[in-house]
């Protein structure tokens, strides 16, 4: 093989690709049942989508939930038992909102290391009503307990701080934030797995109650029940299995911040001091995406779409800049130009995003990859991004967990 052919071959198929054989979700909502039931449904549907018998799966990775008692802390085994013990290697991972990405990463590294041909990844949650709260007990050594005890700082309080900061520094407006919700609701209305499937107007956003100044109820994502699952395999296995051109995961970024962490981050009460050590070249969220781009050898200008963690409308705008879809401070302009809506240059949250789903913590990062899979297969129906070839997901878990996946076809 000559060098040119080799290069072309490498571009088309990286040796570090893993195939997405199957993808599925349990619809998001408030269903009043346990997380295991949701997870099993998503897992079975993903296996069916892959055409793989559960008994042929060599490894299962569960993304844990902290809201299901002990079974939630050992979710890999919980799902394996519910699907029927068959002797698979088991792993359970937790990284807050980034748990799903860690589960994907675990499956991927097992496949690339040759430890398993086919791995099932599952994340599911049954969310409580209202604000997320810390685990019980008197725990002054836990920053998550402290921020509630000392400040009453809920998650929306942090979202409010980021939003107000953007307004002051970049000139974002409440109308910009509302437009993010309008955009995502329009796309979520087209997604059968979304919890909220009604379009929303800017007037409706403006009429909703303020939760944490300047953000209103419709600026902030809800918490939901839901589950998502993926069947991942080696590219060789996919070929033998009759999938010659599967969606492939080319990069998974699970980086931590660099000291000093100078962006106030949940659940911290203060940033690190930058008086002695210089701040890193890239703030944490930008570093998460940068690591994914570097690993994939793909740049932001090559993206067909992005799924980002819109915990709040303002935070979605922040991700535009952190993903380098535009320069710093230019996110609102990108939005206003329609670039991130369906039909735009790089649709963001074609799934409807958290705005339409509400957060089901351990399932969410997996659900983002499900959306990329459907989009890259061209099976996303009315919300299809035409000709989608490259997609990125981005997310961040409490306590310093990066999460970004790049998938290609």
Partner 1 sequence: MTRQRTPVVADWFSGEGENFRLLGTRCSACGSVFFPREDSYCRNPGCAGGELAEVPLSKRGRVWSYTDGRYRPPAPYASDPEQEWEPYTLVAVELEAERMVVLGQAVPGVTPGQLAVGTEVEVVPGVLNEDADTTWTTWHWKPVNGR
Site for partner 1, rule CB under 8 A = 130-131, 133-134, 138, 140, 143, 145-154, 157, 160-165, 168-169, 209-215, 259-260, 262, 264, 268-277
Q: How far is the CB of 256 from partner 1 (least distance, A)?
A: 11
Q: In this complex, which beta carbon is closest to partner 1, that of residue 40 or of residue 220?
A: 220
Q: How far is the CB of 154 from partner 1 (least distance, A)?
A: 5
Q: How far is the CB of 358 from partner 1 (least distance, A)?
A: 17
Q: Coil, helix or strand for 90?
A: strand
Q: In this complex, which beta carbon is closest to partner 1, that of residue 185 or of residue 211?
A: 211
Helix (H) or strand (E) holding 290: helix 284-296
Q: Where are the beta strands (DSSP E) in 130-243?
A: 210-212, 215-216, 225-233
Q: In this complex, which beta carbon is closest to partner 1, that of residue 154 or of residue 375?
A: 154
Q: What's the distance, CA 241 to chain centroid?
A: 28
d(Cα 223, Cα 232) in Å, to the nearest integer? 27
Q: How far is the CB of 205 from partner 1 (least distance, A)?
A: 16
Q: How far is the CB of 317 from partner 1 (least distance, A)?
A: 15
In this structure, is the dihedral angle defined by the CA atoms of residues 316, 317, 322 and 323, taken in order, positive or negative?
A: positive
Q: How far is the CB of 164 from partner 1 (least distance, A)?
A: 5
Helix (H) or strand (E) holding 295: helix 284-296
Tell me the CA distances in angstroms from 245 to 12, 13, 362, 408, one per residue in order. Answer: 10, 10, 28, 10
Q: In this complex, which beta carbon is closest to partner 1, that of residue 2 or of residue 138?
A: 138
Query: In this structure, are strands 89-93 and 247-253 parallel, antiparallel, or unpaired?
Result: unpaired
d(Cα 170, Cα 178) in Å, to the nearest integer? 16
Q: How far is the CB of 367 from partner 1 (least distance, A)?
A: 26
Q: How far is the CB of 382 from partner 1 (least distance, A)?
A: 36
d(Cα 378, Cα 366) in Å, to the nearest integer? 19
Q: Look at the block and give the residue holding tokens 């300047």.
A: 214
- The single-letter DSSP state of residue 260 is S
d(Cα 112, Cα 235) in Å, to the nearest integer? 10
Q: In this complex, which beta carbon is closest to partner 1, that of residue 199 or of residue 271?
A: 271
Q: In this complex, which beta carbon is closest to partner 1, that of residue 160 or of residue 347?
A: 160
Q: In this complex, which beta carbon is closest to partner 1, that of residue 201 or of residue 256?
A: 256
Q: In this complex, which beta carbon is closest to partner 1, that of residue 62 or of residue 160?
A: 160
Q: Look at the block and give the residue holding tokens 């969606």.
A: 247
């Amino acid at each position: 093989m000559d060098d040119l052919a080799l290069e072309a071959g490498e571009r088309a198929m990286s040796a570090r690709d893993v195939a997405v054989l199957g993808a599925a979700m349990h619809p998001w909502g408030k269903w009043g049942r346990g997380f295991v039931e949701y997870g099993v449904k998503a897992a079975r549907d993903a296996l069916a989508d892959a055409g793989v018998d559960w008994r042929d799966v060599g490894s299962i990775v569960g993304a844990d939930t902290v809201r299901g008692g002990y079974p939630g802390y050992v979710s890999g085994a919980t799902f394996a038992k519910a699907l029927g013990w068959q002797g698979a290697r088991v792993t359970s991972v937790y990284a807050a909102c980034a748990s799903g990405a860690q589960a994907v990463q675990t499956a991927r590294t097992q496949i690339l290391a040759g430890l398993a041909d086919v791995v099932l990844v599952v994340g599911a949650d049954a969310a409580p009503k209202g604000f997320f709260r810390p685990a019980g007990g008197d725990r002054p050594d836990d920053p998550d307990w402290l921020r509630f005890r000392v400040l009453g700082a809920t998650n929306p309080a942090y979202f409010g701080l980021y939003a107000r900061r953007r307004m002051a520094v970049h000139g974002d407006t409440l109308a910009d934030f509302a437009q993010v919700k309008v955009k995502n609701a329009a796309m979520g209305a087209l997604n059968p797995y979304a919890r909220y499937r009604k379009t929303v107007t800017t007037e409706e956003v403006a009429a909703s109650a303020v939760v944490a100044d300047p953000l209103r109820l419709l600026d902030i994502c809800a918490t939901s029940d839901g589950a998502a699952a993926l069947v991942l395999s080696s590219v060789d296995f996919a070929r033998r299995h009759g999938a010659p051109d599967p969606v492939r995961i080319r990069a998974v970024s699970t980086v931590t911040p660099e000291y000093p962490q100078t962006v106030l981050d949940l659940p911290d009460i203060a940033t690190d001091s930058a008086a002695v050590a210089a701040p890193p070249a890239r703030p944490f969220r930008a570093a998460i995406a940068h690591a994914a781009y570097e690993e994939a050898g793909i740049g932001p200008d090559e993206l067909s779409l992005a799924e980002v963690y819109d915990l709040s409308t303002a935070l979605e705008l922040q991700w535009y800049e952190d993903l380098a879809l535009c320069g710093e401070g230019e996110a609102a302009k990108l939005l206003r130009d329609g670039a991130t809506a369906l039909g735009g240059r790089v649709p963001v949250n074609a799934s409807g995003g958290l705005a339409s789903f509400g957060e089901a913590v351990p399932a969410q990062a997996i659900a983002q990859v499900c959306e990329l899979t459907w989009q890259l297969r061209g099976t996303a129906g009315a919300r299809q991004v035409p000709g989608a070839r490259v997609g990125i997901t981005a997310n961040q878990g409490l306590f310093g967990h990066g999460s970004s996946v790049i998938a290609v076809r």
